[in-house]
């Protein structure tokens, strides 16, 4: 294979972005193979902008055409697993957009199918994993530099959305067509980073507000309490109504602390001895000396790292990593099968608020789907399973 020919399913904002990157030659070893969209306006636009690129109205026709070696799914969340499976069936590599799907049952079906085709590349667009800042934080945790995690805490409210945003398309912020609110649209990257860096919790309890500050059916305000099962706890907070957003991620370990501010600045405090050793060896007089006397450098060192944010570069990096995986077998930074973790977290957070109790992370997938379908029925739209 000389160049990987990518089929872009859905020529909306995201699909258009990828088309632009490829047309401009920004992704090594990848070109546009074909474009697919059900919208006639998009067809017209594509004919003008990319006259030499084959266009399809049905993604199955595109998959059968021989024009593409791989696809990316820039369509509503519910459709990602189905398109992923149909591509893999035809020996076509699949890159799914986040979230991998709306409910874990459909994502698990995709993962199970992909597991039968290990020779194909199956990736997910978790572009934030290409961010050097979060790679560094993960490295520090993985190296044990701040020890075993005791607490995680992420407040991420930097995606303000006015009512006009929700009113701009009928499918937005609906159970039937989008499948949720901030948890499925804005927060999937952070839900993924949280579990990528800190692991999955065992239990989740949540307080979720549906249509709290916006006239929508789905959630615009989330507070989730995580229990990792080994004593460690966590809090995840997100919303779309904070116009002065906060982005603060703190991880407490038994050998130090990491604080990430605004996804730009990382403050790492490394204890010279593990906290338990300090506890066992210090008297209250020693403590007073350090805290009242004020020389805390006796117990830890501090490192501050600043990172530049490069949003477009992240998506190019994802496409390049996906291409390299196909062409050279380079490991994927975000294997497609990882997509289920963030969906599991989002589903568990919904389910806890719906049932008003703490939820095991290994919750009953059928129960989640049944509860989701209840909300879809209330919206008087078609049921979830097509």
Site for a second copy in 235-254 (CB under 8 A): 235, 237, 239, 241-244, 246, 248, 250, 252, 254
Among 82, 145, 202, 227, binds a second copy (CB under 8 A): 227
Span from 72-80, 255-263, 340-348, 366-374 in contact with a second copy (CB under 8 A)? 255-263
Tokens at residue 166, please? 């929700």
Q: Is 77:181 a contact under the CB 8 Å cutoff?
A: no
Quote the strand ranges of 10-103, DSSP E: 30-36, 55-56, 70-73, 93-96
Comparing CB distances to a second copy, the nearer of 31 and 299 is 299
Among 223, 314, 373, 381, binds a second copy (CB under 8 A): 223
Under 8 Å CB-to-CB from 58, ≥6 apart: which residues?
36, 38
For residue 271, state whether it binds a second copy (rule: CB under 8 A): yes
The least distance separating a second copy from the CB of residue 335, rounded to whole angstroms, comes to 31
CA angle 72, 78, 84 (to 5 degrees): 35
Give backbone dihedrals phi and psi of 373, rounded to 5 degrees, phi first. -65, -35
Quote the strand ranges of 103-246, DSSP E: 122-124, 149-156, 203-210, 219-227, 233-239
Q: Kindly write down the DSSP assignment for every residue of 187-201, as one continuous string.
A: THHHHHHHHHHH---
Largest alpha-carbon pair distance within the chain?
Answer: 78
The least distance separating a second copy from the CB of residue 32, rounded to whole angstroms, comes to 26
Span from 41-49, 86-94, 173-181, 291-299 in contact with a second copy (CB under 8 A)? 291-299
Give backbone dihedrals phi and psi of 276, rounded to 5 degrees, phi first. -65, -35
Q: How far apart are the first and last CA of the chain?
A: 36
Among 67, 69, 275, 338, binds a second copy (CB under 8 A): 275
Measured distance CA(235)–CA(204) in Å, rounded? 10
The least distance separating a second copy from the CB of residue 154, rounded to whole angstroms, comes to 12
Q: Strand 203-210 relative to strand 219-227: parallel, antiparallel, unpaired?
A: antiparallel
The least distance separating a second copy from the CB of residue 145, rounded to whole angstroms, comes to 14
Tokens at residue 49, please? 């902008």
Long-range Cβ contacts of 49-54 (<8 Å, 24+ apart): 49/19, 50/19, 50/23
For residue 86, state whether it binds a second copy (rule: CB under 8 A): no
Site for a second copy in 148-177 (CB under 8 A): 150-151, 153, 155, 157, 160-165, 168
The least distance separating a second copy from the CB of residue 280, rounded to whole angstroms, comes to 6
For residue 189, state whether it binds a second copy (rule: CB under 8 A): no
For residue 358, state whether it binds a second copy (rule: CB under 8 A): yes
Among 119, 356, 380, 386, binds a second copy (CB under 8 A): 356
Measured distance CA(51)–CA(71) in Å, rounded? 19
Comparing CB distances to a second copy, the nearer of 157 and 321 is 157
Comparing CB distances to a second copy, the nearer of 274 and 335 is 274
- Kindly list the residues in this chain that would bind a second copy in the complex (CB under 8 A): 150-151, 153, 155, 157, 160-165, 168, 205, 207, 209, 212-214, 221, 223, 225, 227, 231, 233, 235, 237, 239, 241-244, 246, 248, 250, 252, 254, 256-257, 259, 269, 271, 275-276, 278-284, 286-287, 291, 296, 299-300, 356-358
């Amino acid at each position: 294979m000389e160049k990987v020919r990518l089929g872009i399913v859905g020529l909306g904002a995201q699909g258009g972005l990828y088309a632009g990157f490829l047309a401009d030659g920004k992704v090594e070893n990848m070109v546009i193979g074909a474009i697919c969209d059900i919208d006639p306006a998009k067809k017209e636009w594509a004919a003008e902008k990319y006259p030499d690129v084959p266009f399809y109205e049905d993604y199955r026709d595109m998959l059968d055409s021989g024009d593409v070696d791989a696809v990316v799914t820039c369509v509503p969340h519910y459709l990602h697993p189905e398109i992923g499976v149909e591509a893999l069936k035809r020996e076509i590599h699949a890159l799914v957009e986040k979230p991998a799907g709306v409910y874990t049952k459909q994502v698990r079906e995709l993962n199970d199918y992909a597991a039968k085709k290990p020779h194909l590349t199956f990736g997910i667009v978790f572009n934030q994993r290409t961010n050097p800042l979060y790679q560094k934080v993960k490295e520090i945790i993985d190296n044990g530099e701040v020890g075993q995690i005791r607490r995680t805490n992420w407040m991420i409210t930097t995606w303000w959305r006015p009512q006009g945003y929700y009113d701009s398309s009928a499918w937005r912020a609906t159970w039937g067509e989008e499948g949720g609110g901030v948890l499925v649209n804005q927060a999937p990257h952070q839900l993924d980073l949280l579990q990528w860096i800190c692991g999955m919790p065992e239990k989740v309890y949540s307080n979720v507000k549906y249509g709290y500050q916006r006239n929508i059916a789905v959630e615009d305000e989330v507070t989730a309490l995580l229990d990792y099962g080994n004593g460690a706890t966590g809090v995840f907070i997100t919303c779309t109504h904070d116009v002065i957003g906060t982005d603060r991620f703190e991880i407490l370990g038994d050998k130090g602390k990491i604080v990430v501010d605004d996804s730009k600045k990382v403050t790492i405090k490394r204890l010279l001895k593990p906290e338990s050793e300090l506890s066992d060896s210090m008297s209250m007089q020693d403590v007073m000396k350090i805290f009242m006397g004020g020389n805390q450098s006796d117990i830890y060192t501090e490192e501050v790292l600043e990172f530049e944010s490069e949003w477009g570069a992240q998506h190019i990096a994802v496409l390049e990593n996906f291409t390299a995986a196909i062409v050279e077998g380079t490991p994927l930074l975000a294997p497609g099968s990882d997509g289920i973790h963030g969906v599991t977290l989002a589903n568990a957070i919904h389910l806890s608020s719906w049932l008003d109790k703490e939820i095991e992370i290994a919750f009953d997938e059928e129960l989640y789907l049944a509860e989701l379908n209840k909300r879809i029925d209330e919206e008087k739209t078609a049921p979830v399973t097509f």
